[in-house]
């Protein structure tokens, strides 16, 4: 039996199907697992935790309760880790699901269906946590009682709260407090209470943030100005929802907190011991449950419960006396020194030990697991808590739908009774129109009915199944479903949704798939979908797609979608994606095929990888290289493994060193800045010096006929042809003429205030939806809740202008305070954060730039044909700055006006007269020139002398090590420009912690250096934190005087870190640099061999 279990414990390493005996045993254990179950008995649970806190071991214990694996093998098999690298590294890299059946001991007639999802805890695989949170209705949050609340613990709590996934808490690895830290029961209780306080503080912070955000949305003017008089507490209207706070509070007396040790197979809640000791104390279990946690003590003389005073050092809390002391006694008797006498006495009080021969056991982990798993079964505790605390699909639907599909169910949107589909979703009705959500795709071998893991058994091509959750209706094999698009929610009748056919449906059993015929509402399953060529003509609203269409071949690619919303009707809801489009790819590498003949195979492999992994970004550069973006080193290793073994087999890859991403910005001016009016404010690097030479070439000699414009016009044309096409004033205003010298634009750049930049970062997802995809977002709809595009644009413009006015009053030296500035453009795509402000009083607004009808535009002083071109040029410049064509961040570009050839003086944009341009329109011959001129003006604003800067990506780095390794760890951090924020001794342990910020450019190879310096006695957690403006000027020579440049001679200044980053990125992109490859081309060099 042990041999069979061992072979079955590594299913990912098997290149052939499992032996028939094992397969039959597994099927026999899961025959009763049917997805047909009353929804009140269905629980969809995911396990969330920081890395190495015991998620997969918890899952093993729950699976062993169903008989799929042995109880003694739980925690060793890691059943849901189906990949070979997961088994070798002992970390989970992909979310896995399994369907389990469980009967409550006190209610054997209630047979629950539990869909369990195990998710990774490593920060590189956060997208897998988003998948698990989207599919589940409840979550088990696991915390190691020694390590406490870690950074990823806070992340998963935030994700669960965002998706309204109700959570319960497991304080795991209690045995470490006894065996490793050797704490007393009272010290262990204080440790557990402190962790519970930290978790509650984290969840209550999420609740408070949401309440305060709603209050700020209702009154946008409140609290904007830090120097204002503040809020009158007597008239304050901020109301906290006590019910919401209580729902997200963890308290053992409420039953949503469990304590245990998954590796030893035991867990308990307060009510577990309350029922045990109620008879002994002569109390009711429900009353005893309320006082077993907290500062309550039992007076043995009076037989009454009383609160402990602050000065009471003699009495013990009831949790210590009645729960922890028996646990500590069993551990000391079974794990440390075998005390048969004590265990024999306890055997009389523990009925589950009857029939166990204690004389055959010996001290150690095996005996401890045997005793505790019989006394406090892990699965009964956790699954019992899940069935009591976590909601069923019917109960969870009203809470989750406003978040998952705000267009249909949020405030101001359609109600649940507006149509048939919405009503079915609100009730989670199995007889309604089917609505399913595919959260991600998994590579599978459907002939063998297994998930491929990280390798294929034969030469067959990889296939995909989608891990799916059905929210309403019943999905059957062969059903045709419409793919809901973002615009379909608006009811546009012209949109023709695509159709998918669900060819096969499977029950997820870890690595294995069990084919079934249908799946009802509230269940999690896998399905194979194939695109249909076209919908049947005549398919009307409210009807199912036709079944006469032909299915495309198995090799046809579905598309680039990573998650899909499927509906049985043409017009249905489109769920919000759980994956952030603003997610930052920390590690980016260039991948090329060594053999030219394998380029197509590599391209297809990258498309398949992009489809299978939601957190991967694949970008085809202009130079032809494929840039793969990953969330970290571990994620990169997994992606390369998948490419080589699954999606692009037999393709030899060339992988570059990690690429560094930066953002281009502008420095903040200081009060003492001196302006040199003799030298030009525009400073161009050597690789851009040709621009000045070409600015007065033949392109400027084109002019309009004299008969059309008169003598004065001819003179002004000649004057314009003699001046430079690109110039910058001492105040930083850049003037760029079009190539034919018909018009020019005047733009300057100032740094964005920190308040605006922070607000843009917080609402990046919603802003990208409104500005670039032109989709309404309820997050930006304001207090009215009207989710229209026009309303969102008005709210964004009003909020930005209010923040700008406040910043002008607080920081007048940093911002140009002349005139009123109106927001008319914004860019948040590809990581850019830039604004376009109109300072010419022309009436150009953000709403107008998005296609406001002509009748609604007040005033006609700015030519309408020019505005879209200027806006397009601004967006192009914001996504590719002048330093190294990286996105701009924290830059406000101010449009000051234009200049007309008919006059020599500068006028406002409202005074531009281009009447000589006949038939001017946004698509006319002048549109391209205006677009290019606006783009160049925006780019050259950042090249103001001494103001060019870059923003570096900063990572938050948390390191834990022993005291003797501190010096070596600090040596590694010192070489990598780390900024230490906090340090100290971790309470209750001998470990020291170091919290710091580390530049991304210096983070590569950090793990190897730390482990080599500390001999492996160190562990760390690294994640993206923020963008930080560099203090270094990449062009140091621009700030030197003429005398300093003369003293410098031909020898350039040694490049600083900012310049090195810029040059490195320009070289990678194939852009010119000022590096001298050959210093002395005519000097003879004699090469001799040393003898």
Average pLDDT over residues 692-696: 47
Burial (CB < 10 A; 0-12, 13-18, 19+), residue 1064, is middle
User: What would you report as the CA-atom Rg of the chain, rounded to the nearest whole angstrom?
Assistant: 33
Range name among 52-61, 452-461, 565-574 with the lowest pLDDT average: 452-461
Residue pLDDT, tens place only, 286-338: 888 888 888 888 877 777 888 887 777 778 888 998 899 999 988 888 887 88
* Residue 228 pLDDT greater than 70, yes or no: no
CA distances to 270, 1049, 1055 from 1043, rounded to whole Å, are 80, 10, 20
pLDDT at 456: 67
CB-based contact 656:590 (threshold 8 Å): yes
pLDDT at 502: 92
CB-based contact 1006:973 (threshold 8 Å): no
Confidence of residue 561 (pLDDT cuts 50, 70, 90): low
Residue 676, SS3? coil
* Residue 412 pLDDT greater than 70, yes or no: no
pLDDT at 104: 82
Residue pLDDT, tens place only, 813-841: 565 556 678 888 899 988 899 999 888 77
CB-based contact 952:1002 (threshold 8 Å): no
Nearest of 1010, 929, 950 to residue 976 by alpha carbon = 1010
CB-based contact 469:440 (threshold 8 Å): no
Strands 499-509 vs 524-531: parallel, antiparallel or unpaired: antiparallel
Q: Which residue has the higher pLDDT, 1069 or 996?
A: 996
Nearest of 381, 360, 384, 358 to residue 371 by alpha carbon = 358
Residue 674, SS3? coil
What's 75's DSSP letter? T
Residue pLDDT, tens place only, 953-1005: 998 999 988 888 889 999 999 999 999 999 988 877 778 889 999 998 888 88
* Distance, CA of 509 to CA of 451 (rounded, Å): 10
What's 907's DSSP letter? B
Confidence of residue 874 (pLDDT cuts 50, 70, 90): very high
Residue percentage of the chain with pLDDT more than 70: 76
Average pLDDT over residues 133-142: 92
Q: Which residue has the higher pLDDT, 949 or 456?
A: 949
Dihedral angle over CA of 427, 433, 437, 438, nearest 10: 150
Strands 626-630 vs 587-593: parallel, antiparallel or unpaired: antiparallel
pLDDT at 1051: 66
* Distance, CA of 172 to CA of 184 (rounded, Å): 17
Q: What is the pTM of this model?
A: 0.80
Confidence of residue 879 (pLDDT cuts 50, 70, 90): very high
Confidence of residue 30 (pLDDT cuts 50, 70, 90): very low
Q: Which helix (H) or strand (E) holds 152?
A: helix 151-162
Tokens of 1049: 């001679």
* Residue 624 pLDDT greater than 80, yes or no: no
Q: Which helix (H) or strand (E) holds 505?
A: strand 499-509
Residue 444, SS3? strand
pLDDT at 741: 80
Average pLDDT over residues 121-141: 87
Tokens of 450: 């297994």
Confidence of residue 917 (pLDDT cuts 50, 70, 90): very low
Nearest of 503, 629, 520, 478 to residue 556 by alpha carbon = 503
* Distance, CA of 898 to CA of 945 (rounded, Å): 23
CA distances to 58, 157, 860 from 130, rounded to whole Å, are 20, 11, 49
pLDDT at 539: 38
* Distance, CA of 849 to CA of 895 (rounded, Å): 14
* Residue 140 pLDDT greater than 90, yes or no: yes
φ, ψ of residue 194 to 5 degrees: the values are -65, -40
Sign of CA dihedral 556, 562, 468, 441: positive
Tokens of 633: 């080193």
Residue 877, SS3? helix
* Distance, CA of 719 to CA of 172 (rounded, Å): 80
* Distance, CA of 435 to CA of 567 (rounded, Å): 4
Would you tell me how many other CB atoms lie within 10 Å of the CB of residue 305? 17
Average pLDDT over residues 382-409: 90
Average pLDDT over residues 237-245: 65
CB-based contact 499:531 (threshold 8 Å): yes
CA distances to 72, 483, 485 from 489, rounded to whole Å, are 52, 12, 7
* Residue 905 pLDDT greater than 70, yes or no: no
* Distance, CA of 97 to CA of 258 (rounded, Å): 23
Which residue intervals of 325-376 are DSSP H helices?
325-331, 340-347, 365-375
Burial (CB < 10 A; 0-12, 13-18, 19+), residue 625, is middle
CA distances to 91, 95, 129, 141, 387 from 56, rounded to whole Å, are 9, 11, 14, 12, 20
* Distance, CA of 925 to CA of 943 (rounded, Å): 29
What's 125's DSSP letter? G
Residue pLDDT, tens place only, 4-25: 333 333 343 334 444 444 444 4
Per-residue burial over 872-890, b if 16 or more Cβ lie within 10 Å, else e, is bbbbbbbbbbbbbebbbbb
CB-based contact 503:529 (threshold 8 Å): yes
Q: What is the mean pLDDT of the chain?
A: 78
* Residue 636 pLDDT greater than 70, yes or no: yes
Range name among 710-714, 882-886, 917-921 with the lowest pLDDT average: 710-714
Average pLDDT over residues 38-62: 91
């Amino acid at each position: 039996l042990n041999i069979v279990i061992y072979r079955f414990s590594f299913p990912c390493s098997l290149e052939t199907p499992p032996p028939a005996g094992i397969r039959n045993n597994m099927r026999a254990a899961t025959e009763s697992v049917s997805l047909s179950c009353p929804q009140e008995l269905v629980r969809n649970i995911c396990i969330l935790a920081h890395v190495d806190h015991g998620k997969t071991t918890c899952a093993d214990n729950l699976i062993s309760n169903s008989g799929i694996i042995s109880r003694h093998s739980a925690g060793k098999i890691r059943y849901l880790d189906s990949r070979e690298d997961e088994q070798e590294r002992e970390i989970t890299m992909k979310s896995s699901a399994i369907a389990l059946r469980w009967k409550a001991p006190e209610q054997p007639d209630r047979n629950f269906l539990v869909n369990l999802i195990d998710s990774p805890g490593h920060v590189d695989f956060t997208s897998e946590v988003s998948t698990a949170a989207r599919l589940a209705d409840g979550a088990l949050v696991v915390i190691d009682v020694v390590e406490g609340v870690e950074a990823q613990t806070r992340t998963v709590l935030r994700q669960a709260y965002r998706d309204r996934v109700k959570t319960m808490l497991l304080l795991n690895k209690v045995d470490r407090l006894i065996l490793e830290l050797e704490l007393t029961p009272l010290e262990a209780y204080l440790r557990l209470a402190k962790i519970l306080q930290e978790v509650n503080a984290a969840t209550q912070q999420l609740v408070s943030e949401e309440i305060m955000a709603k209050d700020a949305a209702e009154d946008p003017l409140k609290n904007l100005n830090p120097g204002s008089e503040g809020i009158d507490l007597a008239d304050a209207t901020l109301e906290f929802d006590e019910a919401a706070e209580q729902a997200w509070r963890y308290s053992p007396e409420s039953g949503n907190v469990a304590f245990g040790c998954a590796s030893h197979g035991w867990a308990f809640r307060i009510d577990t011991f309350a029922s045990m000791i109620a008879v002994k104390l002569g109390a009711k279990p429900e009353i005893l449950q309320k006082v077993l946690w907290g500062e309550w003590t039992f007076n043995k003389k009076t037989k009454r419960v009383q609160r402990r005073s602050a000065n009471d050092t003699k009495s013990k809390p009831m949790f210590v006396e009645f729960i922890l002391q028996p646990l500590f006694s069993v551990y000391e008797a079974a794990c440390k020194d075998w005390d048969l006498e004590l265990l024999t006495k306890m055997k009389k009080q523990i009925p589950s030990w009857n029939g166990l021969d204690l004389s055959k056991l010996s001290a150690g982990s095996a005996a401890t697991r045997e005793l505790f798993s019989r006394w406090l079964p892990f699965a009964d505790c956790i699954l019992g808590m899940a069935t009591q605390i976590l909601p069923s699909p019917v109960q969870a639907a009203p809470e989750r739908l406003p978040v998952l599909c705000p267009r249909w169910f949020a405030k101001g949107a359609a109600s649940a009774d507006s149509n048939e589909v919405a009503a079915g979703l609100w009730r989670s009705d199995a007889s309604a129109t089917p609505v399913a959500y595919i959260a991600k795709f998994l590579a599978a071998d459907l002939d063998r009915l297994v998930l491929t893991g990280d390798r294929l058994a034969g030469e067959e091509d990889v296939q995909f199944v989608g891990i799916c959750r059905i929210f309403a209706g019943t999905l059957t094999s062969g059903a045709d479903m419409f793919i809901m698009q973002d615009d379909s929610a608006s009811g546009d009748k012209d949109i023709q949704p695509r159709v998918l056919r669900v060819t096969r449906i499977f029950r997820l059993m870890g690595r294995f798939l069990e084919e079934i015929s249908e799946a009802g509402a509230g269940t999690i399953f896998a399905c194979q979908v194939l695109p249909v060529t076209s919908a049947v003509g005549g398919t009307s609203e409210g009807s199912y797609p036709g079944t006469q269409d032909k299915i495309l071949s198995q090799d046809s690619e579905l598309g680039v979608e990573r998650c899909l919303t499927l509906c049985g009707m043409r017009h249905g809801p489109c769920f919000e994606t759980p994956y952030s489009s603003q997610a930052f790819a920390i590690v980016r590498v260039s991948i090329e095929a060594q053999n030219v003949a394998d380029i197509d195979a590599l391209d297809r492999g990258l498309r398949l990888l992009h489809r299978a992994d939601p957190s991967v970004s694949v970008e085809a550069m202009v130079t032809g290289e494929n840039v793969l973006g990953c969330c970290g080193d571990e994620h990169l290793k997994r992606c390369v493994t998948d490419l080589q073994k699954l999606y692009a087999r037999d393709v030899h890859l060339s992988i570059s060193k990690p690429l560094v991403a930066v953002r281009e910005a502008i420095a903040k001016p200081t009060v003492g800045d001196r302006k040199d009016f003799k030298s030009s404010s525009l400073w161009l690097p050597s690789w851009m010096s040709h621009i000045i030479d070409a600015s007065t070439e033949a392109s400027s000699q084109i002019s309009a006929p004299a008969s059309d414009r008169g003598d004065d016009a001819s003179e002004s044309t000649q004057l314009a042809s003699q001046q430079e096409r690109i110039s910058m004033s001492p105040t930083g205003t850049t003037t760029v003429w079009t190539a034919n010298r018909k018009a020019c634009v005047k733009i300057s750049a100032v740094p964005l205030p920190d308040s605006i930049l922070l607000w843009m970062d917080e609402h990046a997802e919603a802003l990208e939806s409104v500005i670039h995809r032109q989709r309404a977002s309820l997050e930006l709809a304001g207090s009215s809740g009207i989710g229209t595009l026009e309303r969102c644009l008005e709210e964004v413009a009003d909020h930005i202008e209010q923040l700008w006015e406040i910043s002008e009053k607080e920081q007048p030296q940093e911002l140009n305070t002349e005139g009123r500035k109106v927001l008319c453009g914004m860019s948040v795509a590809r990581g850019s954060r830039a604004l376009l402000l109109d300072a010419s009083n022309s009436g150009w607004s953000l709403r107008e730039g998005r296609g406001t009808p002509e009748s609604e535009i007040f005033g006609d002083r700015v030519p309408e044909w020019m505005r879209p071109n200027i806006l397009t040029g601004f967006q192009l410049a914001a996504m590719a700055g002048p330093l190294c064509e990286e996105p701009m961040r924290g830059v406000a570009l101010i449009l000051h006006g234009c200049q007309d050839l008919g006059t020599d003086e500068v006028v406002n944009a409202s005074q531009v007269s281009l009447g000589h341009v006949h038939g001017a329109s946004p698509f006319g011959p002048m549109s391209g020139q205006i677009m290019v001129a606006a783009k160049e003006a925006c780019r050259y604003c950042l090249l103001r002398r001494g103001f060019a800067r870059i923003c570096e990506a900063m990572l938050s780095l948390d390191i834990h090590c022993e005291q003797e390794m501190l010096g070596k760890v600090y040596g590694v951090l010192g070489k990598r420009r780390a900024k230490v924020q906090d340090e100290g001794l971790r309470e209750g342990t001998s470990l020291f912690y170091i919290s710091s910020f580390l530049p991304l450019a210096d983070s590569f190879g950090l793990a190897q250096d730390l482990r080599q310096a500390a001999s492996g006695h160190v562990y760390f957690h690294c994640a993206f934190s923020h963008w930080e403006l560099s203090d270094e000027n990449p062009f140091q020579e621009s700030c030197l005087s003429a005398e300093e440049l003369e003293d410098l001679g031909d020898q350039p200044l040694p490049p600083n870190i900012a310049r090195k980053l810029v040059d490195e990125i320009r070289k990678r992109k194939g852009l010119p640099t000022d590096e001298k490859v050959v210093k002395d081309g005519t000097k003879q060099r004699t090469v001799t061999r040393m003898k």
